[in-house]
């Protein structure tokens, strides 16, 4: 009751979401994305949960994130999605047994300069249309020569990433998949195409490996669909407490810049959470929250340590009542829309002032 901003992470929900991934892609191995501190959920507890549930591999962005998991004794295969950035990282990747997602020839040069005998595990990432990382498709013959002259490398497979998988009506995804398939026709090696949106919306993207991130945390990457509608359970619930309730007459201006004016005499509540905790300042008046289980809305600007709330729909609210910002019954996707952003950014934006609590009701 004394904590002001609390993120409660339900590890059973993460296990449930992994089971849903397996239901969507029953013939695929699962590489779960736990980069960015497991999308703000806590890399080590999430990775432990996924490992115990038998996930096939984990994926992180960079060496620092991989080392954090190895230091916590996570033994599952871990892929470095941006590959290695230096000779030191190449050595560390071999030592820690990491899978390196190689996306450029300069990284191959670093790897080929490693002392003989180091066991390197490599994916090759191809650019099938995203135009961010990856080899052009025309590089595939050269990449096959690289594999031929480095027989000690363990080749994990061919990877690509979809740019518009969350838009079921556009043809870009089909074009990317076709280009990837045509380029690799008859060539050996596992294939991996789909992130969460790819594996949810495009059956033909569910290949040897799927790489879900967001959906493991229970949020939907597909516009107009919540995680719940897709059979997922939001894993993180962000709560705060009411620390003030005041009644103001019609016309009163609330907060910085007087961006909200009370349309009638009404109660305004103050919750002890703000942009320094990770509530986007762009979250506009009218965005939904819950106060003691009743709907309420943001009224006025988000400030550093507090938000102000229209309590007209929660007339019984009292000091100390719980305020839910997003979570199990308040989809982060919907809150994100009110802030002009995505659930991804809400999750990653939580700061270290938020107190994290882990629950595992099913364990
Ligand atoms: C982050 C990431 C994923 C996971 O994406 P989601 O949209 O969170 O499912 C998959 N593949 C790559 C290469 C990534 O960088």
Of 35, 39, 260, 275, the catalytic one is 35
Residues 145-203 pLDDT 10s: 999 999 999 999 999 999 999 999 999 999 999 999 999 999 999 999 999 999 999 99
Q: Atom 4 of ligand 1 has which residue's CA nearest to it?
A: 213
Give Cβ neighbours of residue 29 (< 8 Å, ≥ 6 apart): 56, 57, 208, 209, 210
Ligand 1: residues with CB < 6 A are 33, 35, 81, 161, 195-197, 211-214, 221
Which CATH number does 11-218 carry?
3.20.20.10
Ligand 1 atom showing the smallest separation from residue 35 Cα: 1
Examine the pLDDT at 116 and tell me if it is beyond 80: no
E strand or H helix at 123: strand 121-127
| Mean pLDDT score, 289-294 | 96
Give Cβ neighbours of residue 231 (< 8 Å, ≥ 6 apart): 20, 23
Mean of per-residue pLDDT scores for the chain? 96
d(CA 263, CA 266): 8
Of 24, 95, 225, 256, the catalytic one is 256
Q: Which two tokens stand for residue 348?
A: 């990653």
| Mean pLDDT score, 240-263 | 98
Residues 38-85 pLDDT 10s: 999 999 999 999 999 999 999 999 999 999 999 999 999 999 999 999
Please list the residue range(s) of the chain that carry CATH number 3.20.20.10: 11-218
- Taking the model in full, what pTM does it have? 0.96
d(CA 313, CA 295): 6
Confidence of residue 2 (pLDDT cuts 50, 70, 90): low
| Mean pLDDT score, 200-212 | 98
Please list the residue range(s) of the chain that carry CATH number 2.40.37.10: 236-359
Which of 30, 191, 213 to mutate for ligand 1's pocket (most ligand atoms within 8 Å of CB)? 213
Name the residue among 83, 82, 103, 105 with its Cα closest to residue 93: 83
Q: Does residue 267 carry a catalytic annotation? A: no
* Greatest distance between any 2 Cα atoms in the chain: 78
**Cβ neighbours around 14 below 10 Å, total:** 25
Query: Tell me, what's the pLDDT at 1?
Result: 47
CATH 2.40.37.10 fits 236-359, yes or no: yes
Binding residues for substrate: 132, 304
Cβ atoms of 33 and 215 closer than 8 Å: no
Confidence of residue 117 (pLDDT cuts 50, 70, 90): confident
Q: Does residue 256 carry a catalytic annotation? A: yes
Binding residues: 132, 304
How many CA atoms does the CB half-sphere of 3 hold within 13 Å?
A: 14
Q: Atom 6 of ligand 1 has which residue's CA nearest to it?
A: 213
135-138 contact pairs (CB < 8 A, 24+): 135/103, 135/104, 135/105, 137/179, 137/180, 137/183
Can you tell me which residue has the tokens 């450029």? Answer: 104
């Amino acid at each position: 009751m004394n904590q002001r901003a609390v993120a409660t992470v339900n590890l059973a929900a993460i296990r449930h979401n992994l089971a849903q991934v397996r239901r969507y892609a029953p013939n695929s191995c699962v590489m779960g994305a736990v980069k960015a501190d497991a999308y703000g959920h806590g890399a080590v507890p999430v990775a432990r949960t996924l490992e115990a549930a038998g996930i096939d591999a984990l994926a992180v962005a960079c060496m620092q994130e991989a080392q954090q998991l190895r230091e916590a004794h996570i033994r599952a295969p871990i892929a470095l999605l941006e590959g290695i950035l230096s000779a030191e990282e190449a050595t560390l990747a071999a030592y820690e047994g990491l899978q390196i997602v190689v996306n450029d020839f300069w990284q191959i040069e670093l790897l080929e300069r490693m002392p003989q005998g180091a066991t390197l595990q490599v994916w090759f990432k191809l650019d099938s249309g995203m135009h961010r990382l990856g080899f052009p498709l025309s590089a595939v013959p050269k990449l096959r020569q690289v594999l031929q002259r480095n027989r000690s490398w363990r080749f994990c497979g061919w990877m690509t990433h979809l740019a518009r998988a969350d838009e079921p009506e556009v043809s870009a995804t089909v074009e990317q998949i076709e280009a990837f398939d045509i380029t690799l026709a008859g060539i050996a090696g596992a294939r991996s195409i789909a992130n969460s949106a790819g594996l949810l919306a495009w059956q033909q993207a569910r290949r040897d490996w799927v790489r879900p991130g967001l959906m493991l945390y229970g949020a939907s990457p597909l516009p107009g669909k919540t995680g719940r509608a897709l059979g997922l359970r939001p894993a993180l619930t962000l709560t705060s407490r009411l620390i003030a309730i005041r009644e103001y007459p019609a016309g009163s201006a609330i907060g910085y810049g007087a961006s909200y004016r009370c349309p009638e005499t009404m109660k305004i509540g103050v919750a002890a959470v703000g942009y320094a905790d990770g509530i986007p300042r762009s979250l506009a008046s009218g965005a939904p929250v819950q106060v003691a289980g009743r709907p309420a809305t943001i009224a006025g600007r988000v400030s550093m340590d507090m938000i102000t709330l229209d309590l007209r729909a929660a007339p019984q609210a009292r000091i100390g009542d719980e305020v839910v910002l997003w979570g199990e019954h308040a989809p982060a996707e919907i809150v994100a829309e009110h802030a002009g952003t995505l659930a991804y950014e809400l999750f990653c934006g939580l700061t270290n002032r938020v107190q994290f609590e882990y629950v595992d009701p099913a364990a």
